Amino acid sequence: MTQVTQNAVHEKIIARLAGELAIGEAQAGGAAALLDEGNTIPFIARYRKEVTGELDEELLRRLDDRLRYLRNLEARREEVRQLIAAQEKLTPEIEQALAAARRLQELEDIYLPFRPKRRTRAGIAREKGLAPLAGLILEQAPDGLDETLSSLVEGASVAGAEEALQGARDIAAETVSDDSRVRRLVRSLAQREGALFSRTVEGKDPGIYEQYGDFREAVAVLPSHRILAVNRGEREGVLAVKLELPAGRCLDAIFKLYPPDPKSPFAPHLQEAVEDAYRRLVAPAIEREIRASLTEKAGEQAIRVFAGNLRALLLQPPLRGKIILGLDPGYRTGCKAAVIDGTGKVLGTETIFPHPPQRRSDEAAGTVGALVERYGVELIVIGNGTASRETEAFIAALIPSLPHPVSYAIVSEAGASVYSASALAREELPGLDVSLRGAVSIARRIQDPLAELVKIDPKSIGVGQYQHDVNQGRLAAALEGVVESCVNSVGVDLNTASEALLVHVSGIRPAVAGNIVARREREGQFRARRELLEVPRLGQGTYTQCAGFLRLPGAENPLDDTPVHPESYPLAEKIHGLVEEEREALASLDAAAVAARLGAGLPTVRDIIAALQQPGRDPRDELPPPLFRAEITQLADLTEGMILTGTVRNVVDFGAFVDIGVGRDGLLHRSALGRRRFSHPQEVLSAGEVIEVKVTAVDLERERISLALVGST
């Protein structure tokens, strides 16, 4: 491809990106150039606003995804063109169709007739010289049937007339099947009018798939969680699943492209060939394709839900400076207890046995009371796993007798055991037994959720929906993007951040993160951002990407504890000088006037003014704190109409699961989220949010609780 052609293709891609994302071509082109230079999305979103026209992270990630897709599309377009040309079958019509194709599937449809095939019935028929007869069938020739058959039989290529006709029909059927127009028509009808059907396999217990034992729903409106549920039931051998296509409508559409001529002796053979093409070749292929497409779309939706829940969880406000007792509940092996100080340092650990089989509740109460008094514990945090319900009851009953006021909270312990057994946990807590590390993690994840949860594989955090049924590569990439976004939006204390946290900072790779920690341990705390350039393997490029996201509280230069990038320090100092010169408050500055006066970009000036107003600001501080409890409610005590405060644990397509302090999450169905219109429950709720709910139904036998959101309109 010549440079001129490459430039034309690039301009075409940029124009399409701009149109799809409803942004300017200059914005799309600027963002694409920055990505091609190796800049990270958080860096571009924060520090290159003038180039992108202030595109936010979400839009930049969509642009990055589409840019990759469109470049792959153009590469495949050229590849298909060359493959067809190599067969000397590239016509102006095919060239035009290739140029007009806007999706990869359209390109594959065009290439299908030219794709090398395995030995097929049509291929065998062609070897027998039956292609001319097939051509007559497709053309609906007015005569020549008997003569052609006689010549084929006399030439001994076939055993008889019926074999010749069958072979010719096979060729005609494959030709119809390979026609991109046929595929496009059947695909469109399947998407508009098809339905997914499932039934229980004979002899199988439907179990959790009971609602899908006799299930049918239109493809056009099928929600993603049902697609993934049906797929899983099929994979487990419980459900038989089929995509029902509108066969009559599909055949009518194909016959409009290949109409039998009643006057032609070949008409019944074309009729049979078209029906065979649809039944044997087209319908199964389109069914596979539509089901794969449904699964892909459902997977993308599940990934978006997981990513949204993870973001909400990671951005929960930290509880700074509190002495916290973490409890990892258990029965036979006891409850593991760990006390941490305001920086996360472990002060003390114990194991208590308040539950069966030991039932040493008095001893356990004394141990907890001693820990509370000795270390000044202000909050007790309980993991929500095995024995959580009993441990919560034990703590709630104990609180009134403690030496000073203490509240408690329940947190998800998902992933705590994974962290406890990891090499990172062994390195961070070398003197602790693996079972006690879980209690430390539980305490730390309410003290600073972001810093603690980044140590755990996001897929182990427990806020997903059918996470094992989606493309694992796409899921990992999306979740890593969320972690990266959260870490960089909050910022990281350069002198306290763990290696696990640093690797998510823009531009910092694992080896560099390790070198930063090693340098800190060897030479003491960093005193200025510029000292990062002394870290091995951290060059100017990496420094540019990461410096603005690393904070240094108490640094000699106050700008080192702000989101202001070092490249903008001279501008920030000029703005500060204007404040002193004009004797104005920062808040009263007109950013546009300042930008014009200093010859700087307005977005950068606006961000600098905001940063100077609130040095050291943590955006999580503006969110409501987690729910603390000092009492407990029994499941059996719940009654319809009861109003309770709860914590959203997980938001899914069909609603949300809410912890209301009874050991079993209640379901807040999307229909109970109020009258406000929304496309997904995440527009109304987020994981970790504290809300008021009303109990609408309680099923004690199945331990199911139905809830409705209070105060929604």
Q: What string of DSSP letters covers 562-581? A: SS--GGGHHHHHHHHHHHHH
Sign of torsion over alpha carbons 269, 272, 276, 278: positive
Domains in the chain and their CATH numbers?
3-114 (1.10.10.650), 121-194+245-303 (no CATH), 324-489 (3.30.420.140), 490-622 (1.10.150.310), 635-709 (2.40.50.140)
Provide the total of helices (H) and of strands (E) in the chain, helices listed first. 29, 15
How far, in Å, CA of 335 to CA of 326, rounded? 10
Residue 262: which residues within 8 A CB-CB, separation 6 or more? none
pTM of the model: 0.85
State residue 118's pLDDT score. 87
The CA dihedral of 377, 383, 387, 390, to the nearest 10 degrees, is 50
Distance of CA 66 to the CA centre of its chain: 16
How far, in Å, CA of 401 to CA of 384, rounded? 24
Burial (0-12, 13-18, 19+ Cβ within 10 Å), 329: buried
State residue 584's pLDDT score. 65
How far, in Å, CA of 305 to CA of 85, rounded? 45
CA-based nearest residue to 248, from 289, 269, 216, 279: 279
DSSP-assigned states of every residue in 230-298: HHHHHHTTSEEEEEEP-HHHHHHHHHHHS---TTSTTHHHHHHHHHHIIIIIIHHHHHHHHHHHHHHHH
State residue 588's pLDDT score. 82
Host H or E run for residue 524: none
Residue 671 CB: number of other CB atoms within 10 A?
A: 9
DSSP-assigned states of every residue in 26-46: HHHHHHHHHHHTT--HHHHHH
Spans of the chain, pLDDT less than 50? 713
The token duo for 584 is 């104005």
How far, in Å, CA of 505 to CA of 46, rounded? 13
Sign of torsion over alpha carbons 523, 527, 533, 538: positive
DSSP-assigned states of every residue in 637-698: G--TT-EEEEEEEEEETTEEEEE-SSSSPEEEEGGGS-SS--SSGGGT--TT-EEEEEEEEE
State residue 713's pLDDT score. 43
3-state class of 329 per DSSP? coil
Helix axes 131-139, 267-276, angle to 10 degrees: 100
State residue 632's pLDDT score. 53
